[in-house]
Structure 1
Amino acid sequence: MAIARNDTSVLGRWWWTVDRWTLAALVVLAGLGLMLTVTASPPVAERIGADPFYFARKQGILLLPALAVLIFVSLADLRQVRRIAVGLLALSVALLVATLTIGPEIKGATRWISLGGFSIQPSEFVKPAFAVVAAWMFSAQRLGEEVPGFVIATGLFALVLALLLMQPDVGQAAVLSAIWFAQFFLAGMPMLAVIIMAALGAVGMVAAYFVFPHVQSRIDRFLDPASGDSYQVDRAMEAFSNGGLLGRGPGEGTVKNVLPDGHADFIFAVAGEEFGMFACLAIVAIFAFIVLRGFARVLQDNDLFVVLAATGLLVQFGLQALINMASTLSLIPTKGMTLPFVSYGGSSLLALAIGMGMLLALTRKRPGVTA
């Protein structure tokens, strides 16, 4: 872009202070996601009697607005980031409550709500909003402000966690817990509390196994594939095997013809079959680059709010990617979670754009500026 360094406009200041490498990596991920959706979704669309490019067209239509939202949010200053997060958290919590009362039940869970003809998954939006609001509360108390920040952040965590488990959505609850724990730890959680929280987390995982039948089924199938239906995981592993190092070529894969979620939760398997192991490693490298570069920027900042909020957003982004890819590779029990910016899904795409937009805003260079 031909923007002079002495350009003092909003766009000029943004361009010379934003992390352009992270922005470029996110755009590359979104482009790869659209390409993979084009190749993976036609069989899924045909199975539901739709136009072969139904899902690809919807993803393409949503992609430009999502990137526009990402850039718009990244223009915000720290105060505006907090305001965006508070508003988004309030709206997301209200929608989470609404899903439990008027949301349709899909595969035994109520995670979606229809608004204006669009289906929205509120749990996708609550994660980045919670990360920023909790960071604000933790940093406020840690810096001596007369705010019971630890209590407020923990209360919000308990509220959102309860709403997610009532859907039920154990995977999103686990990601939310990781965000809260990481921020609380960095904010100065006493070592005794760390041990207690770790023990409670272990107890929670064991309890989830006995309380939620779908969790028990997935863990049992992971430990003993013969104990139940492991169709999607088996097909995904076959896809990686068929793809080899260089893949079978764009559009030449066959796993998408039999994978119900080949355009969404298992899109990484389609990438493995059609483009090979090297392409999959390149995707992993892009995710690693974004996370590691984000933490490298955070280490250069002395604002506690920025450190905690950026850490929460990076934990969400990295952990979600890790869960998706590890599930597809049968390294952990399966979990229906999208691969950020790659899997098909409007709610996921827009929520991640907001979250990464806030990350870019938080990690912008701010010479001589305080929150």
Structure 2
Amino acid sequence: MALSRADTSTLGRWWWSVDRWTLAALLTLVFFGYVMVLAAAPAVAERIGASSRNMFFVRQVVYLAGASAVMAGISLLSPKGVKRLALLGFAGALLLTMATLVIGAEVKGARRWLNLPMLGSLQPSEFLKPCFAVVAAWLIAEAKTAGRRGWVAWAIVLGLYGLVALVLQRQPDIGMLLVVTTVFFTQVFVAGINLAIVAALGGLGVSGLVGAYFVFHHVQRRVDQFLFGEGGANYQVDVALEAFGAGGMMGVGPGEGRMKNVLPDAHADFVFAVVGEEFGLLICLFILGLFTFVVVRGLMRLLAETDLYVILAAAGLLTQFGLQAFINMASSLHLIPTKGMTLPFVSYGGSSVIAIALGMGFLLALTRRRMNRGEEGAAQGGYR
């Protein structure tokens, strides 16, 4: 049943105020998530000796359905509601991320996961990303509008960033730390901070990356593999590039790909290579276009926004979304060193899919058209 503009119900107000184009693009990515896990996951399940070839697919159906519900539900919130939920989410995610250092499951020398009864494995740092972006935006906006007392908000947000950085470094999860840092620096820049301070922060970030190369063996190994490709160390990337080459322009057809049978993490970190082989260059460009559309459209929606908190929060969430997609696709194409980061909504994953849905729900809520007197007055007038 069609909803008219005169519909003053919660659903009616939501439908005529939410960015339906962005919502459609995100749901299209969710659809590709279903298609790609159906194409890639059975081969992976069979290779690792899982109890069922459809194990990953069944799980992903549940994850993506839950993610869609989370995204839609959170998009109903007001900016103030987004802030409150982000504060609660940040506190909970930070405590759970700190808990991984003590009771987390160790995988390849890193402690990033918690094994929870009934819920299985959980990576709480995934939820830190969107929640911290919103919390940081709120504190930076407060600092900019508080006059001389703004230093208190600056001290708090810098302290929280330092705490998050310390916890992620201790796991260690340098890739996650890079994303959080990039988002935070982007928000500081958009807030109009003195360029000298921004440059100093940028220099500090570059120094941190250089330091990570010399301090963390796994970071040094991945960079060296990318630059020098020592002794077949780029096996996953080589197979991924072979998959892209086999797919050509139109692909070999759904389910007909062969590289997923030998490509580790074909359903997760390297799902883009499976897309390339089975669906070809045109669909790869279409998926790239969807990510670009979401980011550009979101930024365009902010041009008419006057609330600094909304601008900073949405800019941070869009930066995070676009950066994560870029890292995944660029890793598969051997444009940057490999990093275990999922392709939003397309890769298999529980924590990552729900966390991305949380962030995009925040974005849809923040970019809804609102009346100057607030959403409560929507029944008496139009939307801004």
TM-score (norm: length of structure 1): 0.98
Equivalent residue, structure 2, for 1:15? 15
Equivalent residue, structure 1, for 2:105? 104
Provide the C-alpha distance between the structure 2 equivalents of 1:262 and 1:214, rounded to a whole number of angstroms. Answer: 21
Equivalent residue, structure 2, for 1:71? 72
Deviation at 1:56, TM superposition (A): 0.7
Equivalent residue, structure 2, for 1:143? 145
Equivalent residue, structure 2, for 1:84? 85
* 1:15-164 map, 5 Å: 15-50=15-50, 51-117=52-118, 118-144=120-146, 146=149, 148-164=152-168
Deviation track 1:153-190 (CA, whole Å, cap 9, x = no partner) reads: 11111111111111111110000001110111112221
Provide the C-alpha distance between the structure 2 equivalents of 1:369 and 1:204, rounded to a whole number of angstroms. Answer: 45
SS at match of 2:121: strand
Provide the C-alpha distance between the structure 2 equivalents of 1:49 and 1:257, rounded to a whole number of angstroms. Answer: 13
Amino acid across the alignment from 2:146:
G
Structure 1 residue 363 and structure 2 residue 372: aligned?
no
Amino acid across the alignment from 1:100:
L
Deviation at 1:300, TM superposition (A): 1.5
Provide the C-alpha distance between the structure 2 equivalents of 1:197 and 1:88, rounded to a whole number of angstroms. Answer: 27
Identity %: 54
Deviation at 1:197, TM superposition (A): 1.1
Provide the C-alpha distance between the structure 2 equivalents of 1:369 and 1:203, rounded to a whole number of angstroms. Answer: 46
Deviation at 1:47, TM superposition (A): 2.1
Deviation at 1:201, TM superposition (A): 1.3
Provide the C-alpha distance between the structure 2 equivalents of 1:299 and 1:262, rounded to a whole number of angstroms. Answer: 39
Deviation at 1:370, TM superposition (A): 5.2
Amino acid across the alignment from 2:6:
N
Amino acid across the alignment from 2:163:
L
SS at match of 2:105: coil
State the Cα RMSD in Å.
Answer: 1.2
Structure 1 residue 314 and structure 2 residue 315: aligned?
no
Deviation track 1:287-338 (CA, whole Å, cap 9, x = no partner) reads: 0000000000011111100000000000100000000000000000000000
Aligned partner of 1:197 among 201, 208, 213: 201
SS at match of 2:305: coil
Deviation at 1:227, TM superposition (A): 5.0
Structure 1 residue 5 and structure 2 residue 5: aligned?
yes
Give yes or no for contact 1:124–1:347 (8 Å, CA) kept in 2.
yes
Provide the C-alpha distance between the structure 2 equivalents of 1:164 and 1:242, rounded to a whole number of angstroms. Answer: 38
Deviation at 1:368, TM superposition (A): 1.6
Moved over 3 A (4+): none
Amino acid across the alignment from 1:315:
T
* 1:287-306 map, 5 Å: 287-306=291-310
Provide the C-alpha distance between the structure 1 equivalents of 2:199 and 2:81, rounded to a whole number of angstroms. Answer: 35
Deviation track 1:204-245 (CA, whole Å, cap 9, x = no partner) reads: 111010011011001001111135511100000000000000
Provide the C-alpha distance between the structure 2 equivalents of 1:104 and 1:293, rounded to a whole number of angstroms. Answer: 39
Give yes or no for contact 2:45–2:55 (8 Å, CA) kept in 1.
yes
Deviation at 1:49, TM superposition (A): 2.1
Deviation at 1:62, TM superposition (A): 1.8
Amino acid across the alignment from 2:22:
T
SS at match of 2:186: helix
Amino acid across the alignment from 1:28:
T
Aligned partner of 1:165 among 169, 174, 179: 169
Amino acid across the alignment from 1:293:
R
Q: State the aligned residue count.
A: 371
Equivalent residue, structure 1, for 2:266? 262
Equivalent residue, structure 2, for 1:177? 181
SS at match of 1:84: helix
SS at match of 2:222: helix
Structure 1 residue 234 and structure 2 residue 238: aligned?
yes
Provide the C-alpha distance between the structure 1 equivalents of 2:27 and 2:324, rounded to a whole number of angstroms. Answer: 18
Unaligned runs of 5+ in 1: none
Amino acid across the alignment from 1:11:
L
Amino acid across the alignment from 2:174:
V
SS at match of 2:18: coil
Deviation at 1:150, TM superposition (A): 1.7
Provide the C-alpha distance between the structure 2 equivalents of 1:211 and 1:191, rounded to a whole number of angstroms. Answer: 30
Equivalent residue, structure 1, for 2:331? 327
Provide the C-alpha distance between the structure 2 equivalents of 1:248 and 1:66, rounded to a whole number of angstroms. Answer: 30
SS at match of 2:276: helix
Give yes or no for contact 2:188–2:198 (8 Å, CA) kept in 1.
no
Give yes or no for contact 1:220–1:227 (8 Å, CA) kept in 2.
no
